Amino acid sequence: MSMDTENGTRWLSEEEQRAWRAHLDVSRLLMHQLERDLQPFGLTNNDYEILVNLSESEDHRMRMSDLATATLQSKSRLSHQITRMENAGLVRRENCESDRRGLYAVLTEHGWDTMRQVAPHHVASVREHFIDLLGEADLKSLYASLTPVAQHLRSLRGRA
Amino acid sequence: MSMDTENGTRWLSEEEQRAWRAHLDVSRLLMHQLERDLQPFGLTNNDYEILVNLSESEDHRMRMSDLATATLQSKSRLSHQITRMENAGLVRRENCESDRRGLYAVLTEHGWDTMRQVAPHHVASVREHFIDLLGEADLKSLYASLTPVAQHLRSLRGRA
DNA sequence: CTAAGAAAGTTGAAAGATTAACCACTGTAG
DNA sequence: CTACAGTGGTTAATCTTTCAACTTTCTTAG
């Protein structure tokens, strides 16, 4: 196809640049904005994501590892994160009978209440800053385009 | 349109969820992967972005403020960032004649060399993990969809 | 049954990010 | 020309993330 310069590097075309930049900018600006919208509730984006995952799980609990995988965090980071949330009374740790190395992170009453209170605001925020700015066609094609990328990237993580 | 539950919250439809999740996942996985690909060169994503901005600027220099804006960082964060890069010999600070409060961040020789060495690899990385996984139509529609979102978000930053 | 290796999770130190307070200078309203 | 609000940038304290080392338990090859 295109082989632009002396050293064989295929630089990005105008069009490619634009798409790339757009994705990059949205991705950062959006995270930033969502974080800001959660701030009044004393939660960070990370806190919220943990709460979502636990809320949607059987018995409001998840194994640390699974939670780490689901939220794309390292074990270490998750461990610290859960410690903070434990101190904030949002979750607690419980050990696992079937595997004595393992631990569950469990939503507390307060965690669940918090979730129920905050979720509507968060959804509103996601709508206002993202979803509602896109048409149905946009959403469909976004999903169709990005899914293979996500798959590719997931297949890569955890290599050397 | 849709008004799903008792309390009036417009939850996300299946389709909306999927698109949202896809964007979220790609955005995080991708950053992570790019970071990893830069690692062998001793650069972080942030370092690289600064280098790009300076490289593309008149005289390989930019005012701290402008650089902060361009890279969507806070002044404080940028200040720390530049200090680190200064210690690594990639940039240097120079004061500004016309406004004695101001400083320029200037690319050093070593910074420029680094940039020229690394850029091809970075582009390859962006292609491998993003651009080349999308068709031309995908790119076009991605750009078209995301640009208004980016504008919306940019208009919001720097409020209260 | 046991030893070696893998898996689950934690920990502490070092690096990076955020917050708020700060200093120096500029521009402008009176 | 002066006082005062705003700009440009840094700094110190604090919080979060990363990295590497470590403990405990589980699995499996022999």
Q: A110-140, pLDDT tens digit by residue?
A: 999 999 999 999 999 999 999 999 999 999 9
Of A129, A145, A146, the CB nearest to B153: A129
Q: A143-153, pLDDT tens digit by residue?
A: 999 999 999 99
Structure-token pair, residue B112: 């420029």
Partner-chain contact A157 B7, CB within 8 Å: no
The sheet with strand B91-95 has its strands ordered as B61-63, B103-107, B91-95
Partner-chain contact B12 A131, CB within 8 Å: yes
Query: How many other CB atoms sit within 10 Å of the CB of residue B116?
Result: 12
Chain A from 113 to 132: CB within 8 A of any B CB: 119-120, 123-124, 126-127, 129-131
d(CA B64, CA B157): 18
CA A5 to chain CA centroid, nearest Å:
38
Q: What is the residue type of A44?
A: T
φ, ψ (nearest 5 deg) of residue B124: -60, -40
Does the beta carbon of A160 lie under 8 angstroms from any beta carbon of chain B?
no
What is the model's pLDDT at position B8?
86
Q: A21-39, pLDDT tens digit by residue?
A: 999 999 999 999 999 999 9
With beta carbons less than 8 A apart as the criterion, state whether A96 and A111 touch: no
Residues found in chain B: 160
Partner-chain contact B120 A18, CB within 8 Å: no
Of A12, A27, A136, the CB nearest to B123: A12
Residues of chain B neighbouring A53 (CB-CB closer than 8 A): none
- Selected for mutation to probe chain B from A130, A136, A156 (highest B CB count within 10 Å) is A130
Of A19, A20, A130, the CB nearest to B149: A130
d(CA A114, CA A54): 12
Partner-chain contact A72 B29, CB within 8 Å: yes
Q: Which pTM value belongs to this model?
A: 0.92
Residues of chain A neighbouring B151 (CB-CB closer than 8 A): none
Q: Which residues pair with B92 in a beta bridge?
A: B106
Residues of chain A neighbouring B14 (CB-CB closer than 8 A): none
φ, ψ (nearest 5 deg) of residue A144: -60, -40
What is the model's pLDDT at position B3?
54
Spell out a b/e string for A79-112, using b for 16 or more CB atoms within 10 Å of the CB, else e.
eebbeebeeeebbbeeeeeeeeeebbbbbbeebb
d(CA B137, CA B139): 5
Q: What is the pLDDT along chain B (160 residues), one digit of tens a residue?
A: 555 556 789 999 999 999 999 999 999 999 999 999 999 999 999 999 999 999 999 999 999 999 999 999 999 999 999 999 999 999 999 999 999 999 999 999 999 999 999 999 999 999 999 999 999 999 999 999 999 999 999 988 765 4
Does the beta carbon of A3 lie under 8 angstroms from any beta carbon of chain B?
no
Chain A from 23 to 42: CB within 8 A of any B CB: 23, 25-33
Among chain B residues, CA nearest to A142: B19
How far is residue A49 from each of residues A5, A14, A68, A83, measured CA to CA in Å?
44, 36, 11, 15
Q: Which nucleotides of C are covered by protein (CB under 7 A)?
A: 7-12, 16-21, 24-27
